[in-house]
Structure formats: structure tokens, C-alpha cells
Structure 1
Amino acid sequence: MMRRTCRNLRSFLILAVIVLSGTEVRSDSYDHKYKFTDQVPLYANKVGPFHNPSETYRYFDLPFCSPANVKEKKEALGEVLNGDRLVVAPYKLEFLSDKDSEVVCKKKLSKEEVVQFRSAVSNDYYFQMYYDDLPLWGFLGKVEKEGKTDPSDYKYYLFKHIHFEILYNKDRVIEINARTDPNALVDITDDKEVDVEFMYSVKWKETTIPFEKRMEKYSQSSSLPHHLEIHWFSIINSCVTVLLLTGFLATILMRVLKNDFVKYAHDEETADDQEETGWKYIHGDVFRYPKYKSLLAASLGSGSQLFALTIFIFILALVGVFYPYNRGALFTALVVIYALTSGIAGYTAASFYCQLEGTNWVRNLLLTGGLFCGPLFLTFCFLNTVAIAYSATAALPFGTIVVIILIWALVTSPLLVLGGIAGKNSKAEFQAPCRTTKYPREIPPLPWYRGTLPQMAMAGFLPFSAIYIELYYIFASVWGHRIYTIYSILFIVFIILLIVTAFITVALTYFQLAAEDHEWWWRSFLCGGSTGLFIYGYCLYYYYARSDMSGFMQTSFFFGYMACVCYAFFLMLGAVGFRAALFFVRHIYRSIKCE
């Protein structure tokens, strides 16, 4: 059944890519088979500073030799969201056709163009292209310092010759590498007009690598023994954390609970008028509905949807959908699956809200729909405005924005409403083992470390410590040029994260109830989701200590979108923690006799 579900999801995503991509440039060969001198599609994608992955620009934004009519490749939704803007490159790399020092064009660079190129070289600009869907990169130039410390004395050079080395197996392209000739340079240090002759050469070599394995070279870095050792160390570290935590719970909680059950049973037999203490004392208040129950239900619904989204993404990753440089597949999957799972959010939120005797379920449904999408939309509006100001490829075209709005209006919202109606009509009742008293008991004064913020700090630290080693590789992949492909290890770490989050929330909930504090509803959600705050704290560390990113655009994109990601983790793990705490509280109060 699961295999059939995965196959159906994969087929749906492929269909979505075809529908959203429209008519593509017909120079693509769908079977990637070519004959001698056939034109193999070569697309120039983007240029940008090497250390700022979000700050990318169109290839012809720099004054390269451009044709009179620049042919753009029609792209899928995910490719546009990824910042890809493919155009037909000026190089002609026919199949099995060697070329030596072929001239692209001769051009006189004006002073303004020289300044533009020099600024790009000084910022370590690179270019990215795709040849038969194989990625290739190269730097635009180099800076010679020659031991000088004054930047005004540096020499700036532009590479004018690119050598393409292409490997083939029979009638298919297997690999391509681009090398710049270190001797073919143009001095662009001074602000003066420069004559430049852009050239390229091509060399074809035969290989025995099969076509099916041509993408493996891009994921080899993740599978190197050194990196695998670190990944396994991360899992071992996480497993030790889980074992210590579960051991702690099994040893402490189970013994304490057993003693509590024996004590309460003995008290009932010997002294009926004896005053109750501990968590049994608040049995008449523990199931009293919390404040802001509509917000809690909406948070639980959004968290459940994000949890379902994460599980489906992992399924697609494990079956091989997100192979290296499958352009835009992840973004397409995120958009489509999020739209399709909105019914889960509506059903969960409305059902739980009605169980808590809520009456205005329509308002609750509106709150559920905007709880995550609202902050995400506001963040996107700001960051897209920044990208437009920078003329970067991260700025979404108007047509793409219209497509996303239509998906939200025609798929997300209707499914949210249908899920809400189904949840409202489910007629499920809240399962409370104890009757709630008319008036709430007063919560006794508690020490500072039993407050909400200290408890959140304790609850978030353990789950974060179980995943922080793996976080570096994820960040280096999302905000760098590494490729992450070991999804099986990532899935194991994710399962460990869920287990640790659930267990630590249950432990803290017990200690809270034992201190006769019956307001555990929101506390359990906040403690479960506090790991998201720790992840955002790691963002600060990664940006300033582990990366070379800089500039207003890159900084705003990094912290803006990571805030949305960490907020999603907060909602998802908060829902997990609350569900675990609710199950635990029901269990312990069902096990005792309450009058």
C-alpha cells in the first residue's frame, strides 16, 4: 500500500511539473541520445558571488557576448522558485565535434563594462550552465595579490578562454567539465576600454560509465568515508541521547508513577478524608480547557499538516525523486504537497476545536489557514521586494506569483474548508477520564526554574543536541554548494528528533503536574516546539562562524527564510509534544480512581 502511495505521489509530481512547465524548448532530447554533430542543448543559467547562494543574476546581466535574440528556456514552477533562469548559451558544443580555440565573439569593453566585470571578479563571481542537463561551473576571473596588502594594488584578470572536456558513452553524454585557461587573461584593473576575444575549445573523450550512473559523481562527496563517519557519529550521538532519556524516563517516571498509583490506592482504602497531594490533587482541573483554545487548535492543525508534509517529502526522497540537480523537484513537491495536505490542517483544527466546545469554527478555520501562510507570505513579500531591487533571479516573475496564488485559491483553501467541515461533523468528544470542577484551584507558588521559559530551554536543548551535527550538512547544502543525498540517515535523525521531543515533553509535563500546576496544555506545546528556537540560534552561529555569506540581500534571505523554516519546526514539534503529553495525561488519570 505504501509503495503504491509513493508511486502515485511520484506520478502526480511528474504530472504537475509537466503541467506547470508549459511548452519547453524543443532543442532538448528527451531520451538524451545523439548522433554525430547533433546539437546538444547548452543553457547558461546564472552568475553570482560564490559565497552568496541566494544572490544570483541572469547570465547576460554581465556584458558577455549575447545573441541578438536571447532564447529563454521555459521552466517549471520549481525551477523558477529555485532561481534558475536558463537561456541558450553562445557556445556550440555539437556531439563528438572537437574544437580548438573557437571564437565566440570579439568585443570592445567600455569603461562601464570593465568596472562591471572587475566588481564581479573581486566578489568571486561564478557562472553555472547546464549541458544535456549536466551542471558545470567556472569562475569569471581571478585576483592577483602578489603579497600586497593594499587592495588598490591588486591586479584583476578576466578569463577569456574556456575549455570544455566532455565524456561520452556511445550515443550519450556522461560528464562535462569546464576549465579556464590561466594563460588567456584580460587585464581589467584600470578603468579603460579593453579589446577582448572570447574563445572556447572542446575535447571529447570516451568512457565506460553507464548513463544511469552519470549523476553519481555529484553525490560522491556526501558518501566519502570521512563524511560517512561524521554522519554515523551523529546518529550514534542521537541514539545515546535517546537511550539516556528513555532510560531516565523508565527509571524515574515509571517508578515514581508506580509509587504514586500504590500510594493513591492505599490512601483511598485507609483515609477517605485525607487530603490529596501531588498530581492527583488537581484531577478536577487538569482537563479544564485552556485559554486561547482556538489558537491552540489552529497551531495543532498547522503542525499536523507540516508533519504530514515532512513525511511525504521523506518518502519521495527515499524513493529517489530528489536526485542531484533534479532542478526544482524539491520546491515543486513542497508547493504541491503542502496544498494537498491542507485538508489535514482543517480537519485536525476544527475537530479539536469542537472537542473543546468551541463555537466559532469558521474563525478557527481562517486562523488555521493563516497561521503559517500569513508570516510566510509577509516574509516573501519583503524578500521578493529586496530581490527585485537587486535585479536578482530570486525575484519571482509576476506569472509565477499568479500560479502560486491560484494554487492557494483553487486547491489549498477548498481542501482546508472541506477538512474543516469534516472535522466539525466528526462529532468526536474530548476523552477526559476525570470530571472538571466548576472553579479552578489556585496554582501554588513555584520556583523560577519551573517557569515557562526555563522549561522551554530544557525541553529544546536535548532534541537540538541530537540533531545539531547533521544540521551543518543540511545548512551547507541549502545555503552552500554541497549536495546532500544521504536521506536515509537524515530520516533516522528525524525519527530520533520526534522521539526525544515526545519523551522530554512527557517528562516535563509530569513534573509540572506533580507540582500541582494544571495549566499544561500550552506549556507542552511550547516545550515541544522550543527546538525550533534552538535551530534559529544555530542559524546565527552558522552565518557568522561557519559561512562567508555577506551583504544585505543574502543576510535578509538567510535569516528571513530560516525564520519561516524554524517557525514550521516550532509548529510541527509543538504538535508532536502536545499529542505525547495529552496521551500521557489521559493514561495516568485513567489509572487512578477520581471522585
Structure 2
Amino acid sequence: MYCDDLPFWGFIGKLEEESWSLDGKGPKYYLFEHVQFNVFYNDDQVIETRAFSDPSHFVDITEDVETSVKFTYSVIWNATSIEFENRMDKYSRASLLPTHRQIHWFSFINSIVIMVLLMGLLMVLFMRHLKNDLKRLANGDEEEDKVVGWKYIHGDVFRCPPRMVLFSAILGTGTQLLTLVFFLFVLAFLGILYPYSRGALCTSLVVMYTLTSTISGYSTASFYNQFVETGWERSVLLAGFLSVGPLFVILFTLNTIAIFYGVTAALPFGTLVVILFVLTLVSFPLLAFGGAIGYHFRTKFQAPSATKRLPREIPPSAWYRKTPGQMFIGGLLPFSAIVLELHNFYASLWGYKIFTHSSVLLATFIILVILVAMLSVGLTYIQLTVEDHEWWWRSVLRGGSTAIFMFGFCIYFYAKSNMRGLLQLSFFFGYNACICYAFFLMLGTISFHASLVFVNHIYHAVKNE
């Protein structure tokens, strides 16, 4: 339950296992009829709330029959000297207990070790192989050049990727979501936003998503117009629906289920209409405005080497060098670095844990971004060495594949939890699907830009070929 955006818990009933030995009919289930709330306040602001059930007032609900229950509650108001700004300190101290602190430290050390090992592996890869490749190119020895496999695809590596409209829309939407996450962290560090202010969090998400639509339109149109001069309007329009479309469908479905069950999680019809009007009358005009700016200030893509008219045939390669194998490697390593903090995040989102330290979450997100970028560079180099020039889409897929592992962990988390029924099932997987989908777009965008910078850098050595 929540009181003034403060989470608190209390028992609503009890289970008597001892009845197995009394009548042999199974355990007894009792529902408490009375709850006492102890509210601590300072001046006119709520500081803390506690809930206690009265074990002397209960109803036996063991039998599967309709029972009329009259619930009552009482409130005791207690003055306290704790300031309103410090009311979350209790939850922060609880999350820093020795056991919790050890888990956070172990997770952080695990992430750092994986990042250091990966950096060492890439340093060996770059310092030994790539440096030797560049030396061979600098010597101008034709026999030595034949060893450098990625040199021979310099005329194909910068070829415009297929389905350019969708590709540009993914990059634009991913850039917008990254900007949104950045502003959320800023608000959290400024103390304006904290996790259990659900209303403020949802409002902030809608407002910031609407205002950052200009960034999505600009990023989409500017990238698209580097390769194609016309048709940027379709790409910008697709970018607008790429994130809002799936999100609105999922939220509408979940809201329908909530209305059917009659729970308070259902949004009023008026709220849905307001959100729809905000997206239609504010977000899409800002999206179009950003697209127009990107088109007006468009620049042509400056490739280090000219692109040939006909694409070079890609030689066959092993399974682990193809898209599924690289997606597995590119997703598994970053996921293994964040899995412990991801469990804590899910436990606070869907369980009983409190997560109030934004710094821990920010550090984990930074480590995730670094690992995705490093892996993308390494796997792109491995792909180019076997003369496979179709790296554009693959860089997005292997970066976003971490989100697939995150959703797989959602299935494991649900199976280990006590959540049951259609309502909990739909809300759990519906909201987690939205989160994982957003991470797919963000990490795919980071992965592509890291690979693009790397490919641009190494092909400057053969730009005069």
C-alpha cells in the first residue's frame, strides 16, 4: 500500500498450519477485519506510515463460500521531528544492511571484472591483430595486403543498409529514449523524483517523452538524409509510432483487463483521452518539427572509401560468426554483468524490496553501455575479417539482444515468484515487455554508433584505394 507516495506493508490474514493435526481437513485461512494505521507527521506533512492487523478480529474464509465481511480501520497520529526531506532515509538504511551491501558490492565487482576482462581481450585484439593489419597496409606490400581480409570489402562496407526507413526510425527512437533516461537520472539526483512517487513518475515520463520528440525527429531525418534525399517523412512518422504504438496497445490491453477485474490499477477513460491528445497535438508536431530541422541541416555521408556499384559476395562462415551467434555473445556478456542488480530492480518493482539508491542504478547502466559498445566494436571487427560487409543491421541486433536476455530473466523471475492469475501475469509481462523493448532500441542505437565510429576509423587507412 501507499500513503503519500510512501510504501508500507501489513498482514491481511493468517494461515494456521496446526489445524492439519486437529481435524485432518487441511489448514485454516483467516482474514483480518480491522487494521490500525500509525501515521507519523511533521507539521502538515506525512513522514512515515505503519500498518498493524488486529488478530482478535478475523473471519474464517477456509470454506469456498460467499462471505460478507465488514472491514474497519483506525488511525493513530504521532508527531515526529524528522524532516520531510529525510523521510526516505529509513528505506535507504534498510537497503544498506550488511547483506544487501554485500550483494551490491558483489554485483558491482562482478560487472567491473567482466568489463576489465573484456577490455583486456579487445586490447589484445586491437594491439596485435589490428595494429599488424594497419602496418601491412602502410608498407604497401601486395602479398601482405592479402592477409588483411577486411581491406577487400572497403567498397561495400559503407553501402546503404536495406530497409533504410525502419533503420533510421530505430536510431531516432533509441536516441530519444537515451535522452529520456538521462533526464530521469537528473531528476532523481536532484531529489525531484523518487521511485515510489508513481504519479509523478508517470507524469514525468509522459511530459519528457513528449518534449524529447524533437530529438527523435531530428535524429531520424538527419541520419536518413545522409544516404537518401527524399522520403524522410515516412521515416520520421515511423519513428513516432515505433515506441508509442506498441506501448499504447499494451497499456490499452492491460487497462481493459484491469477494468474487467475492477481493480484500482485501471486508468480512467478521461486520463487515456488526455494522454492521447498530448501525443497527437504536442508530440507529433514536435516530432515533425525535429524532422524538418534534420532535413534542413542535412549533410551527405562522407565515407572514407567509395562504394562499388555491385555488392561483393559474402563467403560462407561458421555459425558463431553469423547473426544468431553474435547476438548470443553480444547479449550474454552484458547481461551477466547486470543480472544481480537486475534482480534487485525487479524485486523492488514487483516485490517487497526498496530501491532508493539512484547512484547504484546509474553505475550499472553506465557499465552496461560500455560493455555493449566494446562488444559491438570487437564483434564488428571479427565480422569484417571474414569479408562480411553487412554489419549495419547486425550491430543493432547484437546490441539489442541484451534486452532479449532481460526478458528471459523476467520469465525466470515470474516462475520463482508467488504471482498467479491472469491479472498479475498480464501486468508483469506487459510492463516488462515495454521496458525490455525500450532497452532493445537504446542498446541497439549505442551498438551501431560504436561500430560506425570504429569502421570509419579503420577504413581511413584504405580510403585512397
TM-score band by shorter chain is over 0.9
Shift of 1:477: 1.4
Q: Do the aligned residues in 1 keep the contact of 2:258 with 2:264 (CA within 8 Å)?
A: yes
Aligned residue in 1 for 2:371: 500
Equivalent position amino acid for 1:582 in 2: L
- 1:78 maps to none
**Distance in 2, Cα, partners of 1:194 & 1:397:** 30
SS in 2 for 1:438: coil
How far residue 400 of structure 1 moved from its aligned partner, in angstroms, is 0.5
**Aligned 8 A contact 1:524 1:574 in 2:** yes
Q: Which residue number corresponds to residue 150 of structure 2?
A: 279
- Contact preservation (8 Å) 1:215, 1:324: no
Distance 2:305 2:234 in 1: 30
Instruction: Count residues with an aligned counterpart.
Output: 464
Which residue in the other structure is 2:398 paired with? 527
Conserved 8 A contact 2:16-2:28: yes
Answer yes or no: is 1:247 the counterpart of 2:117: no
CA distance in 1, matches of 2:44, 2:225: 63
- Corresponding residue number in structure 2 for 1:209: 82
- Corresponding residue number in structure 2 for 1:438: 309
Structure 2: gaps (5+ residues): none
Query: In structure 2, the residue corresponding to 1:507 is in which secondary structure?
Result: helix
Quick one: which of 43, 56, 79 aligns to 1:183? 56
C-alpha distance in 2 between matches for 1:530 and 1:420: 28
Is residue 2:228 matched to residue 1:357?
Answer: yes
Identify the residue that residue 427 of structure 2 maps to in structure 1. 557
Q: Deviations over 1:525-580 (max 9, x none)?
A: 111111011101111111112x1111112112211221221111111000000000
What are the within-5 Å matches in structure 2 for residues 373-412 of structure 1?
373-412=244-283
Q: Which one-letter code corresponds to 1:209 in the other structure?
A: I
| Aligned mates of 1:151, 1:487 — CA distance in 2 | 51
Q: Which residue of 2 aligns with 1:165?
A: 38
1:576 to 427, 431, 446: 446
Q: 1:439 to 1:273 in 2, by over 3 A?
A: farther
- Identity, in percent, stands at 55
Map 1:286-435 to 2 at 5 A. Answer: 286-323=157-194, 325-435=196-306
Cα 1:246–1:146, aligned 2, differ >3 Å: closer, same or farther? same
Counterpart Cα distance in 1 of 2:132 and 2:375: 21
1:324 to partner: Cα distance: 5.7
DSSP-derived class of the 2:405 partner: helix
Deviation at residue 161 of structure 1 after TM alignment: 3.5
Structure 1 SS opposite 2:317: coil
Letter in 1 for 2:441: L
Q: 1:457 to 1:216 in 2, by over 3 A?
A: same
Paired position in structure 1 for 2:107? 234
- 2:362 aligns with 491
More strand by share: 1
- Residue equivalent to 1:91: none
The residue that corresponds to 1:544 in the other structure is: 415
Q: Tell me, which stretches of 5 or more residues in structure 1 are unaligned?
A: 1-127
8 Å Cα contact 1:506/1:580 also seen in 2: yes
Report deviation, 1:271: 4.1
Q: Deviations over 1:464-493 (max 9, x none)?
A: 111111001110111123221111011011
1:594 Cα deviation (Å)? 3.2
Does structure 2 retain, via aligned residues, the 8 Å contact 1:167–1:173? Answer: yes
Going from structure 1 to structure 2, the CA distance change for 1:313 and 1:286 (only over 3 Å counts) comes to same
Distance 2:68 2:420 in 1: 33
The offset of 1:190, in angstroms, is 5.7
Whether contact under 8 Å (1:501, 1:528) holds in the other structure is: yes
Aligned partners of 1:193, 1:531: CA distance in 2, in Å?
A: 48
Distance apart, 1:164 and its partner CA: 3.7
Cα distance in 2, alignment partners of residues 168 and 368 from structure 1: 47
| Residues 299 and 575 in structure 1, CA contact (< 8 A), matched pair in contact too | yes
On the 8 A contact 1:346/1:416 being kept in 2, the answer is: yes
* Aligned match of 1:124: none
Q: Work out which of the two has the higher radius of gyration on C-alpha atoms and give 1 or 2.
A: 1
* Structure number having the greater helix percentage: 2
Does residue 1:451 correspond to 2:451, yes or no?
no
Cα 1:287–1:343, aligned 2, differ >3 Å: closer, same or farther?
same
Q: What residue is the counterpart of 1:139 in the other structure? A: 11
Match of 1:68 in 2: none
Q: TM-score normalized by structure 2?
A: 0.92
Q: Is the 8 A contact 1:525 1:574 kept in 2?
A: yes
Rounded to whole Å, the distance in 2 between the matches of 1:225 and 1:260 is: 51
CA contact (8 A) 1:342 1:413 kept: yes
Distance 1:203 1:571, change over 3 A: closer
In structure 2, C-alpha distance between the alignment counterparts of 1:241 and 1:586, rounded to whole Å: 27
For 1:445 and 1:368, locate their aligned partners in 2 and report how far apart those are by CA, in whole Å.
34
SS at match of 1:178: strand
What per-residue deviation string (whole Å, max 9, x for no partner) do you get for residues 171-223 of structure 1? 76543322122123344556889897766555555544344323322333222
For 1:586 and 1:137, the matched residues in 2 are separated by 55
Q: Which residue of 2 aligns with 1:13?
A: none
Cα RMSD for the two superposed structures? 2.6
Question: What is the TM-score with the length of structure 1 in the denominator?
Answer: 0.73
Contact 1:342/1:415, CA 8 A, preserved across alignment: yes
State the secondary structure of the residue aligned to 1:591. Answer: helix
Tell me the secondary structure at the aligned position of residue 512 of structure 1: helix
For residues 138-158 of structure 1, give each alpha carbon's deviation from its aligned partner in whole angstroms, at most 9, with x where no partner exists: 333323232429996443433
Write the distance in 2 (CA, Å) between the matches of 1:549 and 1:305: 33
